[in-house]
Amino acid sequence: MHTWAYFEKHFPMVIHALKRAGKAGTLAHAYLIVSTNSDYRVEFPKLLSCLAVCNDPAEDGTPCCKCENCTKVLEDLFPDFYTLAPTSKAREIVIGKDTSDKYSAVV
């Protein structure tokens, strides 16, 4: 799994802006993560969630990734963390009961 430091090294402007928002308490309620790298799409949302819920962030806002909240997020056990992703090549995310439901999105 890529670490927070990895993303900070490769995407410094994005990470800086997110850390600044985290420290200021102005993180958005949701973020759309777009990448051709499937590992990034799975790993970065978890780290971003750690930024929002970390109990022991560094002075610059970096999440510890070791506290109880971070651990729950990283292990998919945090109750308010949801990831939506396409389940087929149709790239459609079905939120309702079936594809005829009006609450679906194509990414």
Chain positions contacting Zn ion, by CB under 5 A: 54, 63-64, 67, 70
Task: Please state whether beta strands 104-106 and 92-94 pair in parallel, antiparallel, or not at all (unpaired).
Answer: antiparallel
Please, what is the minimum distance in Å from the beta carbon of residue 36 to Zn ion?
Answer: 29
Please, what is the minimum distance in Å from the beta carbon of residue 80 to Zn ion?
Answer: 15
Judged by beta carbon, residue 68 or residue 101, the one nearer Zn ion is 68
Judged by beta carbon, residue 8 or residue 92, the one nearer Zn ion is 8
Judged on CB neighbours under 10 Å (0-12, 13-18, 19+), 87 is: exposed
Judged by beta carbon, residue 47 or residue 54, the one nearer Zn ion is 54
Q: Which two tokens stand for residue 81?
A: 């963390």
Residue at token pair 């777009």: 34
Please, what is the minimum distance in Å from the beta carbon of residue 18 to Zn ion?
Answer: 15
Q: Which runs of consecutive H residues, i.e. helices, occur in 1-107?
A: 4-10, 12-24, 38-53, 68-74
